[in-house]
Amino acid sequence: MEKLFFLFIMITTIIAGCGPSAEEQTIQKAIADTATAASWTKTPTVTLTPTKTPIPTKIPTLVPKENNYILETGVCIILFGQKITGNPRNSPECSISSRKTISLLPNMGITMTSDPGSSSMQMFCSLYKTNGTLIMTDLDADGSGKVQCYP
């Protein structure tokens, strides 16, 4: 039995001698903890890569949007210098000869001319929004033979 006990102590000593000591275990644990902590706190490195911004070869052309209007034209039987207030459509002295939808670009209008004269029949033009709202009216009250409608 003594031999068995002696053999047990020898095997235990050999096995104990192969493993790390308590001091080595503490150092290995500290290294492992540091490595774990470092893996969670790593800041990514930002790499700047220069790129070329393409320069457009064509410059876009701005196309003004057309607006639709209703143009009414006609004549009024009035004396020179007399004014029609309001919409000529509602005046018994005036009659409409044309009513049509037109398209006008921004800052554009319609000019109508006729022979100036001393007639009591004077032309007019009226411009409406497509919903029927009157925008403006021009009446040739001075006999110049010219009226202009513009939005």
Threshold 0.75, pTM exceeds: no
Could you identify the residue written with the tokens 């930002």?
46
Whether 98 contacts 139, CB under 8 Å: no
Whether 69 contacts 135, CB under 8 Å: yes
Token pair recorded at residue 121: 């029949």
Question: Tell me, what DSSP letter sits at residue 60?
Answer: P
Tally Cβ neighbours within 10 Å of residue 146.
14
3-state helix, strand, coil in the chain (%, to 5): 25, 30, 45
66-113 tens-digit pLDDT: 678 999 988 888 766 677 777 888 888 888 888 998 888 878 888 888
Residues 80, 141: Cα–Cα separation, whole Å: 5
DSSP bridge pairs for 101: 70
6-55 tens-digit pLDDT: 666 666 666 655 666 777 778 778 777 766 655 555 555 555 566 566 66
Q: Is 44 helix (H, G, I), strand (E, B) or coil?
A: coil
CA 117 remoteness from chain centre: 53
